[in-house]
A and B are shown apart, each in its own frame.
Chain A
Amino acid sequence: MNKISNKEVISDVLSRVAGVDKDIIVLASDSRGSASMTSFAEKYPQQFVEVGIAEQNLVGIAAGLASVGKKPFITSPACFLTMRSIEQVKLDVAYSQMNVKIVGISGGVSYGALGMSHHSLQDIAVMRAIPGISIIIPADRYETEKMMSSLLDYEGPVYVRVGRNPVEDVYSDLNYNYEIGKAIVMRQGNDITIIATGETVKIAVDASDKLKEEGIGCRVLNMHTIKPLDEEAIIKAAHETGRIITIEEHSIFGGLGAAVAEVVVQNKPVPMKILGIPDEPAIAGNSKQIFDYYGLSVSNLYNVSMSLLK
C-alpha cells in the first residue's frame, strides 16, 4: 500500500518550485501540520503566510496577494474553505478572477468520526454553481503530481480537493496524458460506464475488473476535473454503453452524479445510478467504514452494475 498522501505530493511540488519562483506563496490557517506544509514553512518563511484560525481572512488575503502578482496556494481543511469562506471564494477569487489555488485538504469524510462539521460533502455542489472557478480531485499521488505540473502553468481560480490519508495507486507512473478538463479512460468497455472521481476511481477500476471476469465490458472514466466537465466523454459513454453509474465521496445532491446527469438527460438520456453519501449527517466511523456503510465499495458497485444490466 502506498504511503504517500496526495497532500504531501502537493507540498513536495511546491517546495521544489518555490525556490525558483519567489511569487509562489503558501497560506495556512493553523493548518500547516495537517496540510503537510510544516517543512515548506520552515524552508521558505518569506513565502509562507499564517493567518491563524480565520478562514474568511485566509481567502481574502490570498485574493489580495494574487491581485499584486503573487501566486497563492491556500491549504486548509476543505470543510471550512468551502463553507466558512465561500463568499470570499465566490467574490474575491472567482468573480474577480484572481489567480488563487484553493487546496482543500482532508476532503470528503476523511475526518471520519469528527462529524459533519469536519466533513466536506457539499463542496462540489457549492463550488460547481460558482462561475469562473475550476474543480479538480486527483485520484492518486501520480495524478496529483501531474495536476500540480498543470496548475503551475494555469492562470486563474482553481479548487482542488484531496483526502487526508494516502490512497492506493491507480497509476504506476507519470507516463500518461493528463489534461485539465479531459476525462481519462481507465478501462475500456461497451456494456456499462462507471464515472468516478478522486478516491473512488480505484473502487471503480476494481469493480470493472471484477465485471470483466463475468464477461461484462465496463468502461471507467476518471473524471478528475469536475469543472469544466468533459461533456464529450460523457455523451460518448451514454451512446456507446447505454448505462452510467457515478460514484463519489460527496452528497448525492449536486456533485459529480448530478453534473453527469445534467449532461446525460439533455443529450442522450440513458439509465443512471448515482452513488454517494445520502442526504443525512454521515454515520460515525473511519472513512473506510463510512464508504462501506453507504455502498461506496467494489461489491456494491458490482451489484448495482448487474442490476442496471438486467
Chain B
Amino acid sequence: MNDVLDLKIKATQIRLDLINMIYESKSGHIGGSLSSADILTVLYYNVMNIDPNNPNWEERDRFILSKGHSVEAYYSVLADKGYFPKEELKTYCKFGTRLIGHPNNKIPGIEMNTGALGHGLSIAVGMALGAKMDNKSFRVFTLMGDGELAEGSNWEAAMAASHYKLNNLIGIVDRNKLQISGNTEEVMSLEPLEDKWKSFGWDVLTTDGNDIEKLIDTFNAAIASANDKPKLILAYTTKGKGVKFIENKANWHHRVPTEEEYKAAISELQELMEVYLNEQNIK
C-alpha cells in the first residue's frame, strides 16, 4: 500500500484505535503515541520488508520501539497488520493480558521487550552488526524519543554504529521537543542535535515526522544512500498530533482523557477521516 492518501487514512485509524485503548484501560501514553503514529504507519505500510503471516521470517527488517511507552500506537499498527487479532486490543493493560503497557516480545511481530529508555539503539546496533556478519540484507530500524536521548547509552551506541559502519541501521528520533517535565531544551538541552549526530559519524536527514509524503521520501533517501554511515532521521513532530487540545502540551504525556475529552478527541479525528474518505471517493 503506497498511496499517500491511503496511509493518511491508516494513520488516522491508528490514532482512533490508540485513543480507544487508552480510554478503555485508563492508562497509557497518549502524547508520544499520537506523535509517532505517522512514522510507524510509514514504516509498517511502506518502508519495511515484513510478512505478518511469518513473523519469524529470517530476512525480515527489524524494528525496535526504543521509546516503549508509545506502545499503544505500536500495538494498533501490529494488530491492523494482522500480527494478532484486533479484538485483543481491548485487553490492553487489563488483568492477565500479554498486551502490557510496554512492548512485549511474547506478542508476534515484537522483537524486543522495551520500556526503560535508552536501550533500543544498542540493541539495533547488535542486530545490524549480526546482519553484516552473516551477509544478510535486512535493515534495522529503531524509534527513539528526544527526551530519551539524555541517556548516555544512546551515545555509546551511536559511536559503535559508525565505528562498525552500520549503514544498514536507521535510527529515527521523534523530535517533539517535549518530555514529561516540559520542553526538552529546558529539562536537558539537546541542541544542536543534528550536529551531535553528525559528529558521531552519522548521516542525518531531517523531515516533518507528521507528514506521510515527506516521511516516505526521507526513508527512501536514507535507504538509497550508498555510503557506509548509519542514518539518523530527525523527525520533527508535534506531541499529541491529531487532537488539537492535546497537541504540544507536556501534561498530556500520560494523562487519560475524561469522557468529555475522549468524545471530543474521537470526533475531531473522525472529521478528519471523513475528509480523507471524501477525497478518496473523488479520486
Binding site for B on A (CB under 8 A): 28, 30-34, 50-57, 79-80, 83-84, 111-118, 283-286, 289
Q: In the assembled complex, which residues on chain A have CB atoms less than 8 Å from the CB atom of B118? A: 53
Is A115's CB under 8 angstroms from B188's CB? no
Q: Give A285 to B148 CA distance when docked, in angstroms.
A: 26
Specify which of B95, B115, B147, B152 is in contact with A284 (CB 8 Å cutoff): B95
The answer to whether B93 and A56 touch across the interface, beta carbons within 8 angstroms, is no
Complex contact A114–B100 (CB within 8 A): yes
Within the complex, which residue of B99, B150, B180 is in contact with A51, where a contact is CB–CB below 8 Å?
Answer: B150
Q: Is B272 an interface residue (CB 8 A)?
A: no
Tell whether, in the assembled complex, residue B115 and residue A115 are in contact, meaning their CB atoms are under 8 Å apart.
yes
Q: Which bracket fits the contact residues of B? A: 20 to 34
If A30-B187, A116-B113, A285-B95 touch, does A53 touch B101 (CB 8 Å cutoff)? no
Residues from chain A with a CB closer than 8 A to the CB of B99 are 284
Chain B residues in the interface with A (C-beta under 8 A):
25, 27, 68, 93-102, 104, 113-118, 147-148, 150-152, 179-181, 184, 187-188
List, in ascending order, chain B residues with CB within 8 A of A115's CB. Answer: 100-102, 104, 113, 115
Going nearest first, the 8 A-B pairs with the smallest beta carbon separation are A52-B188, A117-B115, A52-B150, A114-B101, A113-B93, A285-B95, A115-B100, A54-B150
Provide the residues of chain A in CB contact with B104, threshold 8 Å: 115
Query: How far does the alpha carbon of A69 sit from the alpha carbon of B93 in the complex, in Å?
Result: 45
Q: Is the CB of A79 within 8 A of B97?
A: no
Question: Helix, strand, loop or mixed for chain B's interface?
Answer: loop
- Complex CA gap A116/B95 in Å reads 15
Question: Cβ of B102 and Cβ of A79 under 8 Å apart?
Answer: no
Alpha-carbon separation in the docked complex, A111 to B116 (Å): 13
A-B contact pairs, 26 of them (CB 8 A): A28-B181, A30-B147, A31-B181, A32-B181, A33-B181, A52-B147, A53-B118, A53-B148, A53-B188, A54-B151, A57-B152, A79-B116, A111-B101, A112-B93, A113-B97, A114-B102, A115-B101, A117-B68, A117-B114, A117-B116, A118-B102, A118-B116, A283-B95, A284-B93, A284-B96, A285-B94
Question: Are B147 and A53 in contact, CB atoms less than 8 angstroms apart?
Answer: yes
Bound CA span A134–B46, Å = 54
Nearest CB in chain A to that of B145: its residue: A53
Interface centre among B97, B98, B117 (most CB of A within 10 A): B117
Given A114-B102, A284-B96: A33 and B180 within 8 A (CB)? yes
With a CB–CB cut-off of 8 A, which chain A residues contact B181?
Answer: 28, 30-33, 50
Taking a contact as CB atoms under 8 Å apart, the answer to whether B115 and A30 are in contact is: no
